[in-house]
Structures are given as structure tokens and as C-alpha cells.
Amino acid sequence: MLRGRYCRVSDGVPSVVLLPGNMCDGRLWEGNGGVLLRVLEAAGWPVRRPALDAGSITAMAEAVLEEFPGPILPIGFSMGGIVALELARLAPTRLIGLGLLGTNMAADLPERAAVRPRQQAAVRAGKLEEIVVGELKPNYLGAANRNNQSLLQLLRDMALKLGPQVFVRQSEALRLRLDLSDVLPRLAVPVFIACGAEDRLCPPEWHRNMAAAASNAELHVIPGSGHMLPLEQPDELAARLSPWLKHIEGRMND
């Protein structure tokens, strides 16, 4: 049973834990001069940006729980959202809330799982840039950003900085992940769910299903963005997130 007591101020100062997507680093959260980080920091809680470098989603979540003791507010994008759901499965009473951005609560789709071993083999053979530039990142952006060279360059740079070994580990973790569809119906804390209206990787319908499954969720489908919501529409995402954070803060003080 995931339901449990709600974290309060007496439990300690919570950490906001930002969980990045596949082959993204901390720069994911720095769109438009870091507007999203400023909103998060305004809540007065430390903001953490851990790397996700393990061979399974469960191992990634366990590493986060070990690194950041006490109450946590996980906000995960894409793969990071899957890790956030795993945190909710493993340690529901550690959470003061849950943020899910452009993500998926189900197991890997068969057609995506079938492609991952080929991509992994290509990356092991030295073709990381080819896979990232040719197959992955161009499909992530909304129409207005599809030819945004600075954004495409950032996506490329994040992936190349993380390197082939991280790609293979993350790809395999995504391929073998659990179906986490039973987590949200049993979770007591407030859930913030947002996606780009043009997200083709994790479409809005998936997010509507997550919101319907949760007992206490709010959903935002944000126009003008594809999958890379934190970078494509950081101002709009920050504006939607700010009142929700205040709600979390008020609830902790009740």
C-alpha cells in the first residue's frame, strides 16, 4: 500500500530533486536563464540535480534515496519521471509531492524495446552522435523549435558529454523498466503533471491517463512545445509550477 502519512516541516527541510531525461544533464533545467530554477529556489528548499547513471530504473531511484535523506520533492522529466515514479513506489512516505513532466508510467513499448539493442550496438561502435542527432533528438521538438539550432546543439552537447557508456546503461534501464501504472492510484501526495501539446514521444493522452489515475493531480498541457518541455517552454512551465509549489508548502505547514 503506497498511502502513508504526509511529510511535514518537523520531518526536516525537503530537497527538490530534479531528475533529467535520457542523455540530459543539469542544463535541461536552465532554459531562458534558469527561470525554472528560480521558481524552485523561491520555495526556500535546496534544489538538487543528480545524475542518473545506473543500469536500472530501480538502481537510479535507490541512489537518489541514499544521496538525499529526509523529505524529497522529485520532479522528473521523461526518463527522470519514470525514476520519480519508482521513488514513489519505493519510498512513498519520503515524498512531499511528485512532479511528472513529459513521461510515461508504463513499461517500454514493444516497438521501442526492439530498437534499443540496435542503438546500443551502434553507440558501442562509436556512433553516439549519429544516433543522437539522426534518430533521437530531432523527433523531440515541437514545430516551432524543430530547426532551433541552439537548442539542437544543446541536446547534442548534453548527450556527447554524458558519453556512450551512460547511453547504453540508460537505454537498457528504459528497455527493462517495470510497469508503474499502479503507483499513482495509491499515492497520497499531490502530483503535478505537465507535457507539451506537441509531444510525440510521450503524448498528452498518456498524461491525461496519469492524471486520471492519481488521487490528487493537476494536469497542464502546454502549447508550443514538443517533448523537451523544460527547454522549449520554460517560462510557461515555471508559471504553472509556482502556485503548485506554494500549495505543497502550505500543506506541509498544516
pLDDT value, residue 95: 97
What pLDDT, on a 0 to 100 scale, did the predictor assign at position 191?
A: 98
* pLDDT 10s digits, 173-192: 999 999 999 999 999 999 99
Q: Where are the alpha helices (DSSP H) in 99-224?
A: 110-124, 128-131, 149-162, 164-175, 204-213
pLDDT in tens, 22-69: 999 999 999 999 999 999 999 899 999 999 999 999 999 999 999 999
Which residue, 17, 91, 18, 85, is CA-closest to 57?
Answer: 85
Contact yes or no for 211/193 (Cβ under 8 A)? yes
Contacts with 73 (C-beta within 8 Å, 6 or more apart), sequence order: 14, 15, 16, 17, 45, 95, 96, 97, 98, 99, 248
**Secondary-structure class of domain 13-106+179-253 per CATH:** alpha beta
Give CA–CA dist 10/205, Å, rounded. Answer: 38
pLDDT digits (tens, 9 = 90+) for 230-253: 999 999 999 999 999 998 988 777
Average pLDDT, the chain: 93
| Predicted pLDDT at 12 | 79
Check whether 198 has a pLDDT greater than 70.
yes
Query: How far does CA 167 lie from the centroid of its chain?
Result: 16
> Tens digit of pLDDT for each residue in 24-34?
999 999 999 99
Query: From CA 222, how far away is CA 241, in angstroms rounded?
Result: 12
pLDDT in tens, 86-126: 999 999 999 999 999 999 999 999 999 999 999 999 999 99
Determine contact, residues 218/193, Cβ cutoff 8 Å.
Answer: yes
Q: What are the boundaries of each domain within the chain? A: 13-106+179-253, 110-170
How far lies 219's CA from each of 16, 61, 92, 187, 232, in Å?
Answer: 20, 24, 21, 16, 18
Q: Is 173 exposed, middle or buried (0-12, 13-18, 19+ CB in 10 A)?
A: buried
Residue 11: pLDDT band with limits 50, 70, 90:
low
Note the helical H segments in the chain: 31-42, 57-67, 79-90, 110-124, 128-131, 149-162, 164-175, 204-213, 229-232, 234-253
Q: Which of 224, 219, 199 is closest to 209 using CA atoms?
A: 219
Check: CB of residue 23 under 8 Å from CB of residue 162: yes
What does the alpha-carbon distance between residue 20 and residue 36 come to, in Å, rounded to a whole number?
A: 14
Residue type, 143: A
